[in-house]
Structure 1
């Protein structure tokens, strides 16, 4: 798949809430995931490797009590890169309700997502 096809497929799966399927289908084994510096509670941290990304996703899902809404925008593609605006309105265990908006940036290498980085307000 090329970058545009991967971007569209990621958006499709995220809109369906199929994050693990997206990782299994679209991510490189050595992919890197980067969070915002200073994210609450250390955030999910920066990790390398598909297994670590899956674990990061599981921990994030376990931290949620209730999802009140969410959004996944259309991708913007430039060469081997694409970005997607995403949002989630959720109540988190021990934190409370937050309506979070972020820009997610992805790099594609050899037909797989090799790098993801998230940009959002901290604090």
Structure 2
């Protein structure tokens, strides 16, 4: 049986390999609620998957480094360093904290915190 820590490691590994859609399909709940900073949340798998596909089609990732993680019961926190070029926003280089709540091996809620300025 896979432990929760192993599940989180596998999820983070897919993200580090830029396998975003694979990570979405395998680790996100149908009722996912995902929020960036204080923006309106994206709700539901269909809307969330469209957001991820939009990011992929409009961005060229240069670096995606996992700096640190915390794994607790049904909660994971990851500190990321992103560098990518987005067609709308240009080149972005920032650090992000991602907090995920899990249930039954799936992410049910996540919040991303970052400052682009």
TM range (shorter): 0.7 to 0.9
The TM-score normalised by the length of structure 2 is 0.86
Q: State whether structure 2 residue 110 is matched by structure 1 residue 116.
A: yes
Which range moves more in the overlay, 72-81 or 22-31?
A: 72-81
CA distance in 2, matches of 1:73, 1:100: 12
C-alpha distance after superposition, 1:81-101 (max 9, x if no partner): 011111221122232211021
Residue matched to 1:31: 32
Q: CA deviation at 1:122?
A: 4.2
Calculate the aligned-residue CA RMSD, in Å.
1.8
Instruction: Give the distance between the partners of 2:114 and 2:68, measured in 1 at CA.
Output: 18
Count of residues in correspondence between the two structures: 116
Deviation at 1:70, TM superposition (A): 2.2
Residue of structure 1 equivalent to 2:71: 77
Partner of 1:68: 62
> For residues 1-123 of structure 1, what are the structure 2 equivalents within 5 Å?
1-37=2-38, 45-64=40-59, 66-123=60-117
TM-superposition CA deviations, 1:27-64 (whole Å, max 9, x none): 111111111126xxxxxx52111111110111112222
- What runs of 5+ residues in structure 1 fail to find an aligned partner? 39-44
* TM-score normalised over the length of structure 1: 0.83
Tell me which of the two structures has the higher relative contact order, counting C-alpha pairs closer than 8 angstroms and 6 or more residues apart.
1
1:74 deviates by 4.3
Task: Give the secondary-structure state (helix, strand or coil) at the position aligned to 1:62.
Answer: helix
**Which runs of 4 or more aligned residues in structure 1 lie more than 4 Å from their structure 2 counterparts after TM superposition?**
none
